[in-house]
Amino acid sequence: MSLRFVIIPVTSYQQNCSLLICEETNKAAIVDPGGDIDTILAVIKEEKVIPEIILVTHGHLDHVGGVSELAKKLSLPIEGPQQEDIFWLDAFPSQIQTFGFPHCNSFTPTRWLNDGDTVKVGEQTLEVIHCPGHTPGHVIFFHPQSKLAVVGDVLFNGSIGRTDFPKGNFDTLISSIKEKLWPLGKDIKFIPGHGPMSTFGQEMKSNPYVSI
Ligand SMILES: [Zn+2]
């Protein structure tokens, strides 16, 4: 018994919201509910899981646009991102304009996360790793037993996150990937913020930005 997952692409950005489900308790974490709340709720019903917590990788609207509404509707705590992303959460009105989003409310996380923290989903424990570069407060979630990482916009299949946003930094992002993700192992599969899954080993081999 371990952790299973369901990927739900949401918003016009096809952001990968994911459900991380503890197979023993059927409790689920909703990671990065960027919007399309009705779609997310439909999947929760279909999978017959019990939503327990909302986890947030970083403050960009396509990842957090639905957090406030979903947290209220389901009475869920919100954990993440790391506090340096607070300026993105404070900038909801301008983000709505930039991203061309429907109106949504900002939120204050129940708990800001830091490197080395852990979060619980049912009986499963996820490790929190701070991976700045795309945004300064970006975190990823890692479940060692199932060799699965949810990495938001740090790393994609064949690419990496943008670093041209305020407080983005290309060198910092490359260091985050090489120094914090690669040591987790080649066999780690990951859910990126957008697009298809891959493994760290595959990206080490062929990703033009971070291959070694
Ligand atoms: Zn982003």
* pLDDT tens by residue, 77-109: 999 999 999 999 999 989 999 888 889 999 999
Residue 83 Cα to ligand 1 midpoint, Å, equals: 15
pLDDT at position 212: 78
Pairing between β-strand 15-22 and β-strand 27-31 as defined by DSSP bridges: antiparallel
Residue 42 Cα to ligand 1 midpoint, Å, equals: 25
Residue 96 Cα to ligand 1 midpoint, Å, equals: 14
Contacts of 148 (CB under 8 A, 6+ apart): 3, 5, 142, 188, 189, 190, 191
Residue 62 Cα to ligand 1 midpoint, Å, equals: 7
pLDDT at position 1: 59
pLDDT at position 100: 87
Residue 33 Cα to ligand 1 midpoint, Å, equals: 13
pTM of the predicted protein model: 0.97
For residue 154, which of 96, 99, 78, 210 has the smallest C-alpha distance? Answer: 210
Residue 179 Cα to ligand 1 midpoint, Å, equals: 20
Residue 164 Cα to ligand 1 midpoint, Å, equals: 11
Residue 92 Cα to ligand 1 midpoint, Å, equals: 14
Residue 4 Cα to ligand 1 midpoint, Å, equals: 24
Task: Work out the percent of the chain whose per-residue pLDDT is above 90.
Answer: 94
Residue 111 Cα to ligand 1 midpoint, Å, equals: 20
pLDDT in tens, 13-50: 999 999 999 999 999 999 999 999 999 999 999 999 99
Residue 150 Cα to ligand 1 midpoint, Å, equals: 13
Residue 153 Cα to ligand 1 midpoint, Å, equals: 5
pLDDT at position 98: 86
Task: Work out the percent of the chain whose per-residue pLDDT is above 70.
Answer: 100
Contacts of 1 (CB under 8 A, 6+ apart): 23, 24
Residue 130 Cα to ligand 1 midpoint, Å, equals: 14
Examine the pLDDT at 8 and tell me if it is beyond 70: yes
pLDDT at position 99: 83
